[in-house]
Amino acid sequence: MQTRRIIHHGGRPRAPDRRRDASGRSRGESPAEIVAVARAQRIKAGADPDDALNALHASTIGILHRRWQLCATDPSGLSADQYGAALAYISCVTRYCEIMGIPLPRAAGLAGVTRGDPPEEVVLAVRRRFADLRRTLLDCGREICVGSRVNAAVYRICIEDPPIDAVQPAEIENLRYGLNAVARYMR
């Protein structure tokens, strides 16, 4: 009888229940395992178990919009117009940061990908739109006597995407004011 020697090359121990190819390399987790982990994380963050796989639970603004979908009178929810304004704001800020070479505080979908410089008229249009949105948010804060807190709340919640537990009710209120202003500007 021949004994087979297992040579350990350091690193963490092998997971015995993983799929492996002929060379013994792991083929990763199955889609069901990936979904189960995502679902468990969302339930831990407060999502209803029956609703945890809803894509809106992947971001703070999505969670706030889902609250509104479930109960339109919930003061901590974002309406469809506010949610659309948040997506437009995220798109504008992301494009502006990409053009200006400013790193975003959260991972972008195309991290590390480089593109050629856009035409000058595109750069000017993106910069103008960003400046207009920022001015809209600052004017909104001035009108309700909270200064730049509206702009800060919209940026923090939409761009930095903090965990929902880290968002204060006053921030949600300022976010809603700001997104209403952005929605009016976008019309």
pLDDT score recorded for residue 34: 83
* Domain assignments of the chain as residue spans, ordered by start: 19-53, 57-186
Of all residues in the chain, what percent carry a pLDDT higher than 70? 88
Tokens matching residue 59: 């971001």
Q: Per residue in 34-82, pLDDT tens? A: 888 888 988 888 888 888 888 888 899 999 999 999 899 998 999 999 9
Angle at 74 between CA 175 and CA 168, to 5 degrees: 40
pLDDT band at 112 (very low <50, low <70, confident <90, very high): low
pTM for this prediction: 0.77
Angle at 109 between CA 128 and CA 126, to 5 degrees: 5
141/153 Cα distance (integer angstroms) = 10
63/164 Cα distance (integer angstroms) = 8
